[in-house]
């Protein structure tokens, strides 16, 4: 919740420096709805970490991209938000002992009937799934049969 408060406060401070669009100047309720839509775009794209750095990068990018002293559009806020994600730079490096567990990922995808790499049904990953008991040899044979049948239909 503190992140939402930080984002809201900082974005509203930035927005005060600019004028509402001309068609909203005499319509305070409509101007508030537009400001809410802009803030919603900010909140939709906000990261979970390094929020203070990100909101500053967002405001800087909005200033840089501004072609007038008028509020940006939601689309312009979203475009700036994408660029602001690049500003803080890469996250901390992952430790050397970390690696993807391809056999476990593939077995989970098979169980959940999600797409998986067909080549994982053969070779090292298939062997590892069998060795670790992530799938049975009967399941692997059935998957290989299904994939082979699909290939025959595609030809």
Judge whether 139 lies within some domain: yes
pTM comes to 0.57
Judge whether 97 lies within some domain: no
Same domain, 73 and 8: yes
CB 116 within 8 A of CB 143: no
User: Residue ranges of the alpha helices (H) in 1-136?
Assistant: 2-16, 28-45, 51-65, 74-86, 102-111, 124-131
| pLDDT string in tens for the chain (155-residue length) | 568 999 999 999 999 999 999 999 999 999 999 999 999 999 999 988 889 999 999 999 999 999 999 999 999 999 999 888 887 666 566 566 677 889 999 999 888 888 888 889 999 999 999 999 999 999 999 999 988 888 778 76
Judge whether 91 lies within some domain: no
Same domain, 111 and 141: yes
Same domain, 59 and 107: no
- Domain total of the chain: 2
């Amino acid at each position: 919740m503190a992140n939402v408060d930080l984002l809201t406060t900082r974005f509203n401070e930035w927005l005060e420096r600019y004028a509402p669009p001309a068609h909203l100047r005499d319509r305070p309720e409509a101007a508030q709805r537009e400001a809410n839509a802009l803030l919603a775009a900010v909140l939709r794209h906000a990261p979970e970490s390094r929020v203070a750095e990100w909101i500053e990068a967002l405001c800087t990018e909005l200033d840089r991209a501004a072609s007038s002293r008028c509020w940006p559009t939601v689309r312009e806020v979203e475009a700036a938000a994408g660029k602001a994600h690049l500003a803080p730079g890469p996250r901390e490096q992952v430790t050397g002992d970390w690696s993807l567990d391809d056999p476990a990922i593939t077995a989970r995808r098979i169980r959940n009937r999600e797409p998986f790499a067909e080549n994982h049904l053969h070779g090292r990953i298939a062997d590892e799934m069998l060795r670790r008991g992530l799938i049975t040899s009967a399941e692997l044979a059935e998957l290989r049969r299904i994939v082979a049948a699909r290939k025959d239909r595609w030809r």
